[in-house]
Structure 1
Amino acid sequence: MKYIGFLFLLYLVAPGSTALNLSEGQTKDQDCSSYICESVRMILEHMVVMDERIKKLEDFSSQFKNFKNEFSYLKEIQNSANENLKINLIRLENRTTEVASDNAKFKEVVNRLQNDLKLQRESLKTQEEKYIKGLETLEKNLTTKEVNKTAEINKLSKRLDGLDTQIESQNKKTIAQEKELSEKMNKNIGLQKLEELTTKQLEMEKSMQKINETLKNVAYKKIGSKGYLIQETERRSWNDSRAFCMDLGGHLVSPQSQSELDALGKELKMDSHLYWMGVHDFSKEGEFVLDKTGQKAKFLKWRQNPDNYNNEDCVEFAYSGNQWGMNDNACSTRLNFVCERQLV
């Protein structure tokens, strides 16, 4: 616009110059001046158009910058949540390693006790075998020295009785130790710790689910009583748009009234933008249902009657004739779209 003043002065000066030349009888200069004035007028009109286009580009640039800032903020939140999850997973792995180490130590203690019991039994068995051999030797000697050895045999019998009592007592202790060891093994302290860790892991997963729900709510803009995510920077097919919304915990928009559609329309672009919505007639031609529930759509505001041209089974909406209206379109067509979600 800085050259407009200069061109306007040129426009004013040109006629005067023409009059001077006419007074001097120079008809050729008059034609040249008229051509210059017409050129200046055309340049001015072109510059006005260019100025309007520059303003529109500045508005678009500002909107894109705002969206980029919002996306960076969401990405920072997601990265922070991922870092926290990694830290918690590392802690869980460390704790699992500790529990595994405790279990290994517990198994070592159990094996040691079992080995001790085995050695005690072997020792008792060896002593019993020695006493049996002694008795057999005494019985052989009694054939020749029966009278003299009767007293000695009685003493040996008493010792054997005492040994039997000792062996019985030792067996009771061994059985008690085995019972105690069995009870400790049944309690399985290591498994209890693993169960506690599993519980903590479930709590962490629930916390992450809450964080994801919070992130999803941040992505949606509240309009009326619902949340909407307006995608105007890229175009997708109907199925891809549907999958995108589902990944963010929502579904393709399905306005239930004219007021709801108008309220949403205030946030959308009106210059020939088409937006996918969650309505289709896949099952029966001409019977349009809501993708979210599978029930027949109660609110349909057509801007032109659906004609199923080229197998058009999906519904989009746009601004036309000073109002928002719907139309059927081929599901493979790449359009902008709007996701809808009930905010928590």
Structure 2
Amino acid sequence: QAMCKILYKNFLNIIAKHCDFFNMSFFFPFLDKYCDEGYTLFEDSCYLFESDFYKSWHEAKQYCISHGGNLASVHNQQTVGFLAGMVWSTSDVWTGLNDLEISNYFTWSSSDIVRFTYWDSGEPNNHNGFNEDCVEMLQQVWVAAMLNYICNTFLCFPKLLFFFIWLL
């Protein structure tokens, strides 16, 4: 039995390492997913919960990039619930959602398409005329906040999730 390490980005883009696909006939009896140490696996993503730092949105984004990922993108209600469970003990958490390029047009810092939002009532609102360009999660809802606002927590997720495919 041989092991083939797959680096996974999405269903349309698979990068393989240590595999000879052209000279090996194989089938997939099972597939193991795992995350690097310190990350938590949920669905097809690994999340890093950082609560030991106080960072602005840009500082948090740079931290995540320096660790091979980006600020977390959230694509469904199940992920909101999972992340809220991870961060239940904190009041505010940076996500990757922002409208830095075009005001009121929100995008994920990871370039993922925004197909799901979970705004609190009245959000986004540029409260009191402040230009609130970045989104924080407060328990299970999203609130727009200023770039230089300091959150004590943020969520990173890597670009690649590691799979091991066991080949026979």
Q: TM-score range by the shorter chain?
A: 0.5 to 0.7
1:282 aligns with 2:100: yes
Cα distance in 1 between the residues matched to 2:95 and 2:104 = 16
2:15 paired residue number: none
2:87 paired residue number: 268
What's the offset of the Cα at 1:340?
0.9
CA contact (8 A) 1:287 1:296 kept: no
> How does 1:246-265 map onto structure 2 within 5 Å?
246-265=65-84
What's the offset of the Cα at 1:260?
1.3
Structure 2 residue runs without a partner (length 5+):
1-34, 163-168
What's the offset of the Cα at 1:325?
0.7
1:339 aligns with 2:156: yes
- 2:149 corresponds to which letter in structure 1? T
SS in 1 for 2:36: helix
State the Cα RMSD in Å: 1.7
1:224-250 residue CA offsets vs partner (Å, 9 max, x unmatched)? 321111011222000000000001111
Higher strand proportion (structure 1 or 2):
2
Higher helix proportion (structure 1 or 2):
1
Cα distance in 2 between the residues matched to 1:312 and 1:249 = 27
> How does 1:137-216 map onto structure 2 within 5 Å?
none
CA contact (8 A) 1:288 1:296 kept: no
Cα distance in 2 between the residues matched to 1:249 and 1:219 = 13
Instruction: Give the total of aligned pairs.
Output: 123
> How does 1:1-344 map onto structure 2 within 5 Å?
217-270=36-89, 273-293=91-111, 296-304=113-121, 305-309=123-127, 310-319=130-139, 324-335=140-151, 336-341=153-158, 342-344=160-162
Cα distance in 1 between the residues matched to 2:68 and 2:109 = 14
SS in 1 for 2:50: strand
What's the offset of the Cα at 1:270?
4.6
Cα distance in 1 between the residues matched to 2:107 and 2:113 = 4
Structure 1 residue runs without a partner (length 5+):
1-215
